[in-house]
Amino acid sequence: MKNILLSMTAADLGQVALDMGEKEFRGRQIAHWIYRAGVKEIEQMANLPALFRKKLASRYTVGRASILNLSQSKDRTFKLLLQLDDGESVESVGMLYSDRFSCCVSTQAGCPVGCVFCATGAEGYQRNLAAGEIVGQVLAVQEAGQKEGLAEVNGRVSHVVFMGMGEPLLNYEATLKAVHLINSEMGIGMRNITISTIGYVPGIFRLAEERLQLTLAVSLHAADEALRRKLVPGMTRYSLKDIIQACRDYIKTTGRRVTFEYCLLNRVNDSREDAERLAALLKGLNCHVNLIPYNPFPGNAYKKPEKATIDEFRRRLEEMGINVTQRAQKGAGIRAACGQLRGQHNL
Ligand code: SAH
Ligand code: SF4
């Protein structure tokens, strides 16, 4: 089997060139073709000598996944189903706004955490993705956006959120490597990158030490210990107290504000008392809360609260001094919204 170029930095690629008897600067050229021009074949790297291209192609391949399906919704959101080398598949989402082109990537095929309201969790866990498989999703989404004539903002992805399938901090090395490739090789600013975690405490401490300017989002969903355990059965080793402590450390070390995500489930975690408990838990932290009204998927019995309940929850948090935003729902018609990705064809 051939080695894969996607996942290598310009410096790594320079070494590959040197090892093959070429000049080191060829590495920067190859990186440009892969990460900026988005080519899928070594043959297309026009400024490399033909003989080098041939030699390179005999041992390496770019390593982009194939697109099995593209679904597009009316709200300028689209979803790609990508097939990986070993036959596993993952989903990635592109979202176009007037001022940005945002891409949501998966970090695992399936997810081992198994949150009770999440379609990915319901599918079980297959494996971690490699860094190249994560960056490849950004390139695939960018290309699809350009092809569909959807993308503005130079047709380039401007923001990347690690909020697709899987728990990024349980696949730490590949996630971090992908962050660096997206930042340095694709040229997307650190501040435009967000990692969302279900609250894997050792990962939060570790990420803090990297001192990156990215945004950390922590999915809480409950401010009550017993309820949190019920909703997030795969992460019970860490209490809410542990999670908040890790976030406090993260804020102190990085100087960055943390986002807390809260999926609102009808009559489960949406009462006035729930809002008050949440505000009390987060008191004094440099943070804001992002409310995500539940997105339904087949076979799941949870419901989205009424608009009035959502508004009331939000108002109560604000009254208690918490900054709140509400996630605009995008891509629901094609099951591309938060928690609806499952890496399969929609049946
Ligand atoms: N595993 C990470 C990142 C992926 S999930 C995490 O859980 O944070 C991205 C966000 O979508 C999380 O906040 C998650 O809790 C939320 N989510 C999951 N299922 C959902 C659903 N059915 N409706 C709305 N949001 C959901
Ligand atoms: Fe995994 Fe996140 Fe879904 Fe929970 S919400 S099952 S952690 S992807």
Range of the domain at 32: 3-61
**For residue 347, what pLDDT is reported?**
37
| Choice from 105, 115, 172 to test ligand 1 binding pocket (greatest atom count within 8 A of CB) | 115
Work out the burial of residue 147: count CB atoms within 10 Å of its CB; fewer than 13 is exposed, 13-18 middle, 19 or more buried: exposed
Average pLDDT over residues 158-180: 98
Domain count, the chain: 2
Q: Which of 43, 88, 91, 143 is catalytic?
A: 91
- Whether residue 169 contacts residue 200, with contact meaning beta carbons closer than 8 Å, is answered with yes
Residue that finishes a domain, picked among 61, 78, 107: 61
Buried b (16+ CB within 10 A) or exposed e, 274-288: bbebbbebbeeeebb
- Whether residue 194 contacts residue 162, with contact meaning beta carbons closer than 8 Å, is answered with yes
- Whether residue 47 contacts residue 23, with contact meaning beta carbons closer than 8 Å, is answered with no
Higher pLDDT, 171 or 96: 171
Tokens found for residue 58: 């005999």
Helix, strand, coil % in the chain, rounded to nearest 5: 40, 20, 40
Could you tell me if residue 309 is inside a domain? yes
Instruction: Pick the atom of ligand 1 nearest to 162's CA.
Output: 3
Q: Return d(Cα 291, Cα 310) in angstroms, integer.
A: 9
> Does pLDDT of 345 surpass 60?
no
Average pLDDT over residues 128-145: 97
Could you tell me if residue 329 is inside a domain? yes
Find the CATH number of the domain harbouring 10: 1.10.150.530
Cα torsion at 269, 271, 277, 281 (round to 10°)?
A: 50
> Does pLDDT of 343 surpass 80?
no
> Do residues 49 and 91 share a domain?
no
Tokens found for residue 268: 């489960």
Average pLDDT over residues 193-198: 98
For 243-302, what is each residue's pLDDT tens digit? 999 999 999 999 999 999 999 999 999 999 999 999 999 999 999 999 999 999 999 999
- The strand pair at 66-73 and 77-83 is best described as antiparallel
> Do residues 23 and 42 share a domain?
yes
Could you tell me if residue 130 is inside a domain? yes
Find the CATH number of the domain harbouring 330: 3.20.20.70
Rounded to two decimals, the pTM is 0.96
> Do residues 169 and 215 share a domain?
yes
> Does pLDDT of 8 surpass 80?
yes
Residue that finishes a domain, picked among 20, 41, 61: 61
Could you tell me if residue 230 is inside a domain? yes
> Do residues 85 and 179 share a domain?
yes
> Does pLDDT of 151 surpass 60?
no
**For residue 148, what pLDDT is reported?**
65
For 217-232, what is each residue's pLDDT tens digit? 999 999 999 999 999 9
| Position 346 confidence tier, pLDDT thresholds 50, 70, 90 | very low
> How distant is the alpha carbon of residue 232 from its chain centre?
19
| Choice from 106, 116, 120, 220 to test ligand 2 binding pocket (greatest atom count within 8 A of CB) | 120
DSSP string, 299-327: T----PPPHHHHHHHHHHHHHTT-EEEEP
Q: What percent of the chain has pLDDT over 90?
A: 86
> Do residues 207 and 189 share a domain?
yes
Strand partners, 71: 79
**For residue 92, what pLDDT is reported?**
97
> Do residues 38 and 185 share a domain?
no
Could you tell me if residue 345 is inside a domain? no
| Position 154 confidence tier, pLDDT thresholds 50, 70, 90 | low
Q: Return d(Cα 275, Cα 280) in angstroms, integer.
A: 9
Q: Which residues contact 252 (CB under 8 A, 6 or more apart)?
A: none
Average pLDDT over residues 115-119: 96
Nearest Cα residue to 121 out of 134, 108, 132, 136: 108
Does any ligand 2 atom lie closer than 6 A to the CB of residue 338?
no
> Do residues 147 and 108 share a domain?
yes
CB atoms within 10 A of CB 324: 18
Average pLDDT over residues 100-110: 96
Strand partners, 128: 108
> Do residues 147 and 164 share a domain?
yes
**C-alpha 334 to ligand 1 mean position (Å):** 16
> Does pLDDT of 323 surpass 70?
yes
**CA atoms 105, 110, 112, 115: torsion sign:** positive
> Do residues 165 and 138 share a domain?
yes
Could you tell me if residue 347 is inside a domain? no
Q: Return d(Cα 244, Cα 108) in angstroms, integer.
A: 25
Average pLDDT over residues 148-164: 81
Look up residue 213 and give its DSSP letter.
Answer: S
- Closest ligand to 124 CA? 2
From 119-128, 193-202, 274-283, the region with the lowest mean pLDDT: 119-128
Buried b (16+ CB within 10 A) or exposed e, 70-108: bbbbebbbbbbbbebeeebbbbbbbbbeeeebbbbbbbb
Could you tell me if residue 34 is inside a domain? yes
For 302-313, what is each residue's pLDDT tens digit? 999 999 999 999
For all residues of the chain together, what is the average pLDDT? 94
> Do residues 46 and 120 share a domain?
no
Could you tell me if residue 22 is inside a domain? yes
> Do residues 200 and 156 share a domain?
yes
Residue that finishes a domain, picked among 12, 46, 61: 61
* Amino acid (one-letter) located at 143: E
